């Protein structure tokens, strides 16, 4: 039996649809095994498998440095995720983690103390768009940056992230502001080792936290950025769904707990990756994402968001 060109096209479309409903790593593993075990006479099947593998694996770009074109490809949806490794030497990450995890500035979120995550630095999420909380947020914003540098003897993983983006984007990368007041440039988060830990599926968009600040409606895309300083032996995986729900779709997925979404109702399967110490991972924060519970150790990362207003505008960053 011989395959016709039309058959090959249909098979390719089938696998393109499968990437949304089954584990991509498992599928690519199966295809790799089939490819290796095909005989040399399979002149039609081998190119087909190669093309399918290309389609399935181009969700992630792995590189050792970031450039503007990579960022544009991510922003425009040609990639789901970019992994930059190694960005920071593992030994330096270890030196940073020890004082961070001993610090009394690493505390639970003020409005989510039942979540097994500690943070250094206040996030906009915690303000709940309340005036008194916003004032506290602005007061803490710059002091967090200064405290981290003092704690780490002049080093600063938040600054490492920002410098990397400034070098990659020709129109600069600056701290975001609200009415001329600078926002928190980044935070450090530590996920506790707890079977009930991690973070359920959710999305992050700046205009949800500050709905009445009109300039933020000009943000075309928002990235989530994490530089990993410590990773547990088991668990702590990042899950990202190739799915960006609109407001109506997201409302149908809500669990009623914070802004978390019901993973059983998400219409596609997630891409699951295990972060590495010294690695920076970025993805569009409008894509549904989650963190699996950490086991056997804490999961510590420096985190911020990056806003894209257009090719000719500076990138902005905040937490």
Could you list the residue range(s) of the whole structural domain that residue 238 is in? 60-318
Residue 102 has pLDDT above 50, yes or no: yes
Please give the pLDDT value at position 181: 96
Query: For 143-167, what is the mean pLDDT?
Result: 96
Measured at the CA of 289, the angle between CA 160 and CA 126, to 5 degrees, comes to 70
Task: Give the chain's mean pLDDT.
Answer: 88
Residue 43 has pLDDT above 70, yes or no: no
Residue 219 CB coordination number (10 Å): 19
Residue 15 has pLDDT above 90, yes or no: no
Is 219:307 a contact under the CB 8 Å cutoff?
yes
Please give the pLDDT value at position 37: 66
CATH of the domain at 217: 2.60.120.620
Question: Are 17 and 99 in a shared domain?
Answer: no
Question: Are 25 and 105 in a shared domain?
Answer: no
Question: Are 203 and 141 in a shared domain?
Answer: yes
Residue 208 has pLDDT above 90, yes or no: no
Please give the pLDDT value at position 8: 45
Is 189:294 a contact under the CB 8 Å cutoff?
no
Residue 115 has pLDDT above 90, yes or no: yes
Query: For 20-32, what is the mean pLDDT?
Result: 60
Query: For 11-34, what is the mean pLDDT?
Result: 57
What is the per-residue pLDDT across 261-313, written as a single tens digit (0 to 9) for each? 999 999 888 889 999 999 999 999 999 999 999 998 999 999 999 999 999 99
Q: Can you tell me the distance from the alpha carbon of 285 to that of 224, in angstroms, rounded to the nearest whole number?
A: 5
What is the per-residue pLDDT across 156-167, written as a single tens digit (0 to 9) for each? 999 999 999 999
Please give the pLDDT value at position 213: 81
Residues constituting the chain: 319
Cα→Cα distances 219→213, 226, 310, 313, Å: 12, 20, 8, 11
Please give the pLDDT value at position 299: 98
Residue 4 has pLDDT above 50, yes or no: no
Sign of the torsion angle spanned by Cα atoms 203, 279, 65, 31:
negative
Please give the pLDDT value at position 62: 86
Please give the pLDDT value at position 169: 98
Residue 89 has pLDDT above 70, yes or no: yes
Give the per-residue SS3 of the chain: CCCCHHHHHHHHHHHHHHCCCCCHHHHHHHHHHHHHHCCCCCCCHHHHHHHHHHHHHCCEEEECCCCHHHHHHHHCCCCCEEEECCCCCHHHHHHHHHHHHHCCCCEECCCCCCCCEEEECCCHHHHCCCHHHHHHHHHHHHHHHHHHHHHCCCCCHHHHHHHHHHHHCCCCEEECEECCEECCCCEEEEECECCCCCEEEECCCHHHHCCCCHHHHHCCEEEEEEEEEECCCEECCEEEECCCCCHHHHHHHECCCCCCECHHHCCCCEEEECCCCCCEEEEECCCCEEECCEECCCEEEEEEEEEECCCCCCEEEEC
* Range scoring the smallest mean pLDDT among 39-53, 154-168, 172-186: 39-53
Question: Are 153 and 48 in a shared domain?
Answer: no
Question: Are 53 and 68 in a shared domain?
Answer: no
Query: For 172-192, what is the mean pLDDT?
Result: 97
* Range scoring the smallest mean pLDDT among 34-38, 77-81, 197-201, 273-277: 34-38
What is the per-residue pLDDT across 192-203, written as a single tens digit (0 to 9) for each? 999 999 999 999
> What percent of the chain clears pLDDT 90, i.e. is strictly above it?
71
Question: Are 52 and 176 in a shared domain?
Answer: no
Question: Are 68 and 16 in a shared domain?
Answer: no
Please give the pLDDT value at position 69: 93
Residue 21 has pLDDT above 60, yes or no: no
Please give the pLDDT value at position 6: 46
Is 204:276 a contact under the CB 8 Å cutoff?
no
Question: Are 28 and 79 in a shared domain?
Answer: no
Please give the pLDDT value at position 220: 97
Please give the pLDDT value at position 9: 47
Burial class from Cβ neighbours inside 10 Å (0-12, 13-18, 19+) for residue 171 reads: middle
Question: Are 46 and 134 in a shared domain?
Answer: no
Question: Are 18 and 88 in a shared domain?
Answer: no
What is the per-residue pLDDT across 220-256, written as a single tens digit (0 to 9) for each? 999 999 999 999 999 999 999 989 999 999 999 999 9
Is 81:60 a contact under the CB 8 Å cutoff?
yes
Question: Are 123 and 171 in a shared domain?
Answer: yes
Question: Are 71 and 108 in a shared domain?
Answer: yes
Tally of structural domains, the chain: 2
Q: Which pTM value belongs to this model?
A: 0.83
What is the per-residue pLDDT across 302-317, written as a single tens digit (0 to 9) for each? 999 999 999 999 999 9
Q: Can you tell me the distance from the alpha carbon of 283 to that of 264, in angstroms, rounded to the nearest whole number?
A: 22
Where on the phi/psi map is residue 172: left (φ > 0), alpha (ψ -120 to 50), or beta? Answer: left
């Amino acid at each position: 039996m011989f395959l016709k060109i039309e058959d090959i096209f249909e098979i390719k479309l089938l696998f393109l649809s499968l990437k949304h409903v089954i584990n991509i790593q498992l599928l690519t593993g199966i295809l790799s095994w089939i490819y290796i075990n095909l005989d040399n006479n399979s002149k039609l099947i081998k190119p087909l498998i190669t093309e399918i593998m290309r389609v399935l694996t181009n969700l992630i770009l792995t590189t050792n440095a970031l450039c503007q074109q990579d960022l544009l490809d991510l922003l425009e949806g040609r990639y789901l995720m970019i992994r930059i490794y190694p960005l920071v030497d593992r030994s330096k990450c270890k030196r940073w983690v020890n004082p961070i995890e001993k610090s009394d500035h690493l505390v639970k979120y003020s409005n989510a103390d039942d979540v097994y995550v500690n943070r250094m630095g206040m996030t906009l999420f915690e303000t709940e768009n309340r005036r008194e909380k916003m004032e506290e947020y602005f007061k803490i914003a710059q002091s967090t940056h200064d405290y981290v540098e003092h704690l780490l003897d002049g080093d600063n993983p938040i600054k490492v992230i920002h410098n990397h983006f400034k070098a990659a984007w020709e129109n600069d990368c600056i701290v975001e502001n609200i009415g001329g007041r600078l926002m928190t440039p980044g935070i450090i988060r530590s996920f506790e080792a707890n079977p009930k830990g991690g973070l359920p599926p959710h999305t992050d968009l700046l205009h949800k936290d500050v709905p009445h600040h009109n300039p933020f409606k000009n943000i075309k895309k928002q990235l989530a950025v994490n530089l990993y300083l410590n990773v547990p032996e088991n668990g702590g995986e990042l899950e990202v769904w190739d799915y960006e729900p609109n407001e109506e779709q997201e409302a149908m997925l809500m669990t009623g707990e914070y802004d978390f979404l019901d993973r059983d109702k998400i219409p596609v399967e997630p891409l699951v990756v295990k972060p590495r110490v010294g690695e920076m991972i970025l993805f569009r924060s409008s894509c549904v994402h989650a963190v699996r519970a950490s086991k056997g150790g804490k999961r510590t990362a420096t985190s911020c968001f990056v806003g894209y207003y257009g090719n000719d505008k500076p990138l902005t960053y905040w937490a």
